[in-house]
Amino acid sequence: MVIKLKFGRCGFNPHLPFFFSESLLRQVIFAFVLLQIFSPILNITGVYLFSERIESFYIEFSSLIIVLLSIYYFIIRGKSFEYTRLDLCILFLIVYMCLINLVTNGKEDNYLLFFFITIFSQLILLKNLNFSPNKIESGIFLVSSLLSIYIIIQQLFNSLGFPEIKLSETVFDSTTTTGNYLALTFPYILFRSSDKMLLAHKIFFLINLVAIFLSKDVSSIILVMLMCYLFFTFFYKRTKNLLCFKKHLLFHVLFLIISFSAIMTTLINSNKALRALEGRIFIQSTSMPMLKDNLLFGIGTNKFGAQYNYLQASYFVSEKDQAKYGKYRDLANNSFSCFNEYLELWIEIGIFGLILLLIVIFYIYRTIKYKPLKPAIISITVFFILSLNDGLFHNISLLPIMIINFCLMGDQYKNYTLHSRLVKIQSIVIVSLTLWYAYILTNQFKSTLAYNKTFSEATNSQKLRNYQRAYKYLQNDGIYLYHYGTFLIKKQAKVKEGIKILKKAISRLPHTDILNLLGDAYIMENKFTDAEYYYKISANIVPIKIIPRYKLFQLYILKGENDNAIKQAKIIDSTPVKVSSKTGDRIRCEITRYLDKQENCELKKECL
């Protein structure tokens, strides 16, 4: 027997305690939804209280409460539970990605994947409650959409050459907080909304379309073309109605305009297109080690960016052909560009994950084919365009959210029912994992507080205790490892331990400061070859900086290798000034004096 929990406006369910009504459930859920949506604003409080970003904890704890609510209402209290095939496929994909992340990434990124489970739980809540938002709740989502529109407007200004609006970096953390829940709930609003709301949503879609078009990203333009073609075929083939076709003439016109613009852009900038193609081939060849080592199951989410930059810098160090080095140097800053995001997805989730993803996409196609709901299609497309501005596959959490939007349209051809015993087993497993995650989250929060205390503690011994206490649950946090390694090397004179910590930090955050410090530590150990290697890696990490080159210059002076020192000095002298600073000016003055001195010495030798 399948039990669906549906509430009246003020009704009660016989399987739930009397004090849990629909109104109370709605208030509890939306209290935590508000916490999720406005967590970047609450993060300002965290900066003042703890001198550290703690936005993720707001999201994590609110996600935890929502999951516990869904477990209580629909698994523990229900005698059976109903899934569609698409629900099961997505649940399997989520579990797979969680397992991969646990094996490869450790505890740091668990909250991101746990957020997938949160969204799945919210999906089940909404589907089973026959949910429709009231005016207040619609207002909440309207505010979140305005925040997202603000982000898009900022990107429009940036693409047109205006100064960057710094507010979004400190208050609104891109689209990851507002956009995720916005994407989940907008179809429900649209299904039960007025024509004005639908018109506003179309305007929002057009704003995103213009933002993508002005970004001058060829891949984004191609994706928009495909999306417009989808609208073309969807509305024309399924209706075969001339009046309906005219209603959506805007999309056909946009398709033609964008197609013509893309063709003209390709013809005019043929050299640029060829260089972009070379860049894609270069990225593929550089990424092959990651792919070969983890072909079946992937390397885990959020690891491609860190590993790719390091591999790319290593490639430049080992590359003997300087002409090829110069050719690819201006293509180096491409680890997050759209054209390699599919490769990034493949590397992170592996062949097995791609197969699961293809199965999910297959059921999505069936859903669109047999249950065409126009508001949902528009909502999903808007979110897809919104995701492109932030990198659809770079932020891996956005992909399942977009897929779950398709779930909301329903694929009710065949239902799979989990009966009494299976539901109890599933309940035990999910509750155990949730409690385990709550334990990890609590300890991680305590560790973060202990770590933040190191900035205010008076004695080094107290700071060392706090660093050691925080290490258990922050050992995958690149910034924490960098500060810990710096403290061990500079304050405790424990160079070997500091090197070990910094090497671990590189795998999470291959930053020039960490690599430079690692090179300095090897010099303290009189290991000049290792120091030279890490300085070279640092010198080739994008964006290119002169400080690693200056450290290489100092190292060659120390080793007495004047030819290499002159070579590095000339590279520093020829590097254009992008940002003026006291350190940069001092280095350039010193390099200029050194080159002048060497030139005078050569002139004296010629005179003799």
Query: DSSP of 458-486, one letter per residue?
Result: SSHHHHHHHHHHHHHHHTT-HHHHHHHHH
Confidence of residue 48 (pLDDT cuts 50, 70, 90): very low
pLDDT tens across 89-144, in order?
Answer: 655 655 565 565 555 544 444 444 444 444 444 444 444 444 444 454 444 444 44
Return the number of other C-beta atoms located less than 10 Å from residue 111's C-beta. 20
Q: For residues 115 and 65, is the Cβ–Cβ distance under 8 A?
A: no
Report d(CA 515, CA 523) in Å as an integer: 13
Residue 596 pLDDT level (bands cut at 50, 70, 90)? confident
pLDDT, average across residues 370-395: 43
Rounded to two decimals, the pTM is 0.51
Could you tell me which residue, 394 or 423, shows the higher pLDDT? 423
Over range 509-516, report the average pLDDT.
81
Q: How confident is the model at residue 458 (pLDDT cuts 50, 70, 90)?
A: low
Tokens representing residue 52 in the block: 């550290």
318-332, 358-372, 395-409, 429-443: which range is least confident on average? 395-409
Q: Which residue has the higher pLDDT, 477 or 491?
A: 491
Could you tell me what percent of the chain has a pLDDT over 70? 26
* Of 381, 349, 395, 343, the residue nearest 201 (C-alpha): 381
- In contact, 81 and 418? CB cutoff 8 Å: yes
pLDDT score at 268: 53
Q: Give the model's pLDDT for residue 250.
A: 55
Identity at 384, one-letter amino acid code:
F
Mean pLDDT of 416-430: 50
Burial class (CB in 10 A: 0-12, 13-18, 19+), 78: buried
Confidence of residue 491 (pLDDT cuts 50, 70, 90): confident
pLDDT at 515 > cutoff 60 = yes
CA geometry: angle 282, 390, 263, nearest 5 deg: 60
| More confident position, 17 or 119 | 119
Per-domain residue ranges of the chain: 22-217+269-418, 477-544, 545-608
pLDDT at 328: 54
Q: Residue 391: pLDDT band by 50, 70, 90 thresholds?
A: very low
Question: What pLDDT score does 457 carry?
Answer: 66
Instruction: Please give the Cα distance from 59 to 32 (Å, whole number).
Output: 9
Residue 288 has pLDDT above 60, yes or no: yes
* Res 428: pLDDT: 57
Question: pLDDT at position 459, please?
Answer: 78
Helix (H, G, I), strand (E, B) or coil at 262: helix
Give CA–CA dist 83/422, Å, rounded. 13
Give yes or no for residue 505 having a pLDDT over 70: yes
Residue 439 has pLDDT above 60, yes or no: yes
CATH number for the domain whose boundaries are 477-544: 1.25.40.10
- Nearest Cα to Cα of residue 120 among 422, 408, 363: 408
Residue 349: its H or E element: helix 341-370
If one compares 227 and 282, the residue with the highest pLDDT of the two is 282
Higher-scoring residue by pLDDT: 468, 372: 468
Mean pLDDT score across all residues of the chain:
57
Q: Tell me what the mean pLDDT of segment 498-516 comes to.
A: 83
Q: For residue 14, say if its preceding peptide bond is cis, omega within 30 degrees of 0.
A: no
**Where residue 185 falls among pLDDT bands split at 50, 70, 90?**
very low
For residue 413, give both structure tokens: 């051809």
Q: Is 201's pLDDT higher than 50?
A: no
- Residues 238-262, mean pLDDT to the nearest whole number: 52
The angle, 0 to 180 degrees and rounded to 10, between the axes of the packed helices 135-159 and 178-191 is: 130
Structure tokens at 242: 């001339």
For residue 155, pLDDT beyond 60 = no
**Would you state the structure tokens that stand for residue 33, as one six-digit string?**
């939804």
Residues ≥6 apart with Cβ < 8 Å to 356? 89, 92, 93, 96
Confidence of residue 490 (pLDDT cuts 50, 70, 90): confident
Helix axes 420-453, 55-71, angle to 10 degrees: 160
Residue 263's pLDDT band (cuts 50, 70, 90):
low
What are the residues whose beta carbons fall under 8 Å from the beta carbon of 4, sequence distance 6 or more? 82, 128
Residue 54 is predicted with a pLDDT of: 42
Going by the DSSP 8-state scheme, the letter that residue 74 receives in this structure is I
